[in-house]
A and B are shown apart, each in its own frame.
Chain A
């Protein structure tokens, strides 16, 4: 009799707590995801500045006058995914339309990472010719949830010229600015 109000209070609070748990988890995932993304960007920027800067060009021939000593196919790929919170926001964005920044930055860092890995793959190369970048979405196990992540594959032909002391003419890097 005396504790008749207490169970009813619990009946009110407990469902609230239980039903808010998924949202709390979502926000928590978002925090960790944001941290992971910032760390990835920091690593990308660092490697873009300090790593081997091999020119990446989408053309087929670069300098026909020079003799080529080595050429082979090189490829590098990366699979990255968004965190649950960003994916949730992107789904909300579907209602109103417009730019989906979460996916823009996902694809940006996936492409930059793939290009960096491609450059790291062949440290002795003078230039990478016929660069191709291919993107494909990796379907989630629960297909209705949309893309679980994207795979970016970068490939090209690495070329090493005969005289290593002569550097090839400078070309703009294929990597995009932040």
Chain B
């Protein structure tokens, strides 16, 4: 027997859950979407992803090791997630130095400044993406056409995203029936054969990752379902009011970053509410803001802004919405 007995308060057991396990689980869940992006965008996608992940990990390593002089936290996998998510949020022909800038912003400013994993109020990858969108608006919105540009690194043939086609077309006064012929088919949108950021394209690959996280209990259904459901319901109502002015809700689900945002970004546990009711409020808020920005805002896509705005409201939601306490409803069964 050891000379001294450890005396500590209960519980004396700990389950097998750890931050590492959760974070690497998310990395696994991101693989399908990442691989699909490699398939459609080829060498450009691989380069962007590799540079993004390496930069994120390196920046976190340098900050913890040489600035904070703490044991480094890169092993927990969260920097890898930020790197992958950031890459999934940009077009494949983005100049490499730009993605480096975005990755540095994500980790150094949006994450480590606040105290590292767990303390950041905003999703680091989204903060990085919006930073790039504002800094490099042209490069961040030129979308290489998939498959055709697999082997191309620079001067890719680009085209608009489906959301862009609709928004600009409606602004120019084009007829909805005409626009419908110009957007990709729903099957292509599901599989990812359309223009867009690396991870925006394939709804199916993202849903597979989401189901994996759901089964592993990394996320719950509340945020994705309320987010996507709100977008569907809101755009559905608008479509019913005036189908000539508003495109149908299925399009809104499959186009742009909704799936990626709702399943991977809005479920980032650090920056979203902790109670079930809070999660539903968060999801509905994201859904409403997304539609408002998509339809009436200056940008064709509003998912990133919607999530960041709701991230800012999260502390308030956490304070106001408590879990349902035991024994509140007394049954006489």
Partners in one complex: no
Q: Residues of B at under 8 Å CB distance from A?
A: none
Q: Residues of A at under 8 Å CB distance from B?
A: none
